[in-house]
Amino acid sequence: MKEIKSIRDINFKGRKVLLRADFNVPETESGEITDDTRIRESLPTIEKLLADGAAIIIMSHFGRPKNGFEEKYSLAPVAKHLAGLLNHEVIFTQELLGEKVTDIANNLKCGEIFLLENVRFYPGETKGDKEFAQELAKLGDCYINDAFGAAHRAHSSTATIAQFFPNDKYFGFLMEDEVKHLSLLMQNPQHPFTAIIGGSKISTKIDILENLIPKVDNMIIGGGMRYTFTKAMGGKIGKSLCEDDKLDEARLLMQKMKECNVNLYLPADSVVADDFSNDANTQIVPSDQIPDGWESLDCGPEAIKAFDEVISKSKTILWNGPMGVFEMPNFAKGTFAVGESVAKATANGAFSAVGGGDSVAAVKQLGIGDKMTYVSTGGGAMLEYLEGKELPGIVAIME
């Protein structure tokens, strides 16, 4: 991968920086921000630019507005919240482009912050419209992308805009960290490399599995998707989750693992329930002998022990997807045990990466996020990267 100059080594004093952040935070109907993690994650880059003495113009999307301006998708509450976090004025106007915006941008002084209104109010944004990107580009004199959560989108403010700054485009700290860890994971992993893949559906993970098979030594497959594999091998799965139209695909994946000398670890035993409920009756049975009327909602103690042994011998670990229905306390054991095994291996020197939706939620619920080498901030972006796709937001800066 081409070396990109870190903003750490650049002084932006006197520059007018266009910063793409990801302020797509959850809000209540009345505009109250319920989780400001994404805003907080952008602070190191903003604070660095402020310390340098740059003028900062921030762009972000928020939600999925369909038809131009809609009050509920305005970034006004984010502007207020950001100002509070930074203890610094944030200039904001409920317009995206036009005379007023150009005026504010032209007169923006060093140390000032101007947050543009939701870029998705302009329909060209999501189409990667070049004219819109150029209008945005005119507002500043260099471009920093720190929106990893939107890096899989070829939009005007995440990708197209970069072409107007061929020698002046950078990753923000958050993006730099993600790109560094992802390339270490997928391009230069230490072996043994173990992937732990779980979650409900095999259909959403096929591309990831195919991309990982040539790279990993061990593949642990848990969660609901495991039972499509079990059925494909002729096991009895009761009423466990299964995608019958993916049985052939599962067989092909197992064949490919064999050809690539990947050790496949499926949970030997399962915690099965007579109902999809935390209070259901449960029993522990071999994963390929699940009685009729019962469904597996977690992996069993034997599986937990076997996974721990593999994980503890690994030098690189990627974890995507829970091992069971961890949202219900009675079926969270397998997921939490895997989390603890990964944390232990990390403490012993392994490189561990967690990413893509629910495994991040599980790690947070467990409170072991800081025991992993790296927890990705980008759900969809991380998944596409694991599928082997190039992320437009990354490519736009690298090329």
> Does the protein bind ligand AMP through residue 324 (CB under 6 A)?
yes
Binding segment for ligand AMP (CB under 6 A), chosen from 31-39, 150-158, 317-325, 380-388, is: 317-325
Catalytic residue flag (residue 300) = no
In the complex, minimum distance from the CB of residue 105 to ligand AMP, in angstroms, rounded to a whole number: 41
Tokens of 307: 């996974």
Between 165 and 204, how does the x/- string for binding to ligand AMP read (CB under 6 A)? ----------------------------------xxx--x
Among 65, 149, 224, 355, binds ligand AMP (CB under 6 A): 224
* Cβ–Cβ < 8 Å for 371, 343: yes
Instruction: Identify residue 124 by its one-letter amino acid code.
Output: G
Which residue among 15, 16, 20, 38 is the active-site one? 38
- Does residue number 384 form part of the binding site for ligand AMP (CB under 6 A)? no
Exposed e or buried b for every residue in 4-24, given b needs 16+ CB within 10 A? Answer: beebeeeebeebbbbbbbbbb
- Choice among 31, 63, 235, 357 that is catalytic: 357
* Burial of 109 per CB tally in 10 Å (0-12, 13-18, 19+): exposed
Spatial contact of 396 and 145, defined as CB atoms under 8 Å apart: yes
Helix, strand, coil % in the chain, rounded to nearest 5: 40, 15, 40
CB-nearest residue to ligand AMP: 199
* CA 87 – CA 108 distance, rounded (Å): 18
By the 8 A CB rule, do 297 and 271 touch?
yes
- Name the H helices within 191-332: 206-212, 226-232, 247-259, 301-312
Joined tokens for residue 264: 């496949």
Number of residues that bind ligand AMP (CB under 6 A): 16
Q: Minimum distance between the CB of residue 320 and ligand AMP, rounded to whole angstroms?
A: 7
Binding track over 265-304 against ligand AMP, x by CB under 6 A: -------------------------------xx-------
Active site includes 20? no
Query: Is position 223 an interface residue for ligand AMP (rule: CB under 6 A)?
Result: yes
Query: Catalytic site residue 199?
Result: no
Q: Take residue 396 and report the two structure tokens written for it.
A: 């736009």
Q: Which residues are annotated as catalytic?
A: 38, 201, 357, 380
- Residue ranges that bind ligand AMP, judged by CB under 6 A: 199-201, 204, 223-224, 241, 296-297, 321-322, 324-325, 327, 357-358
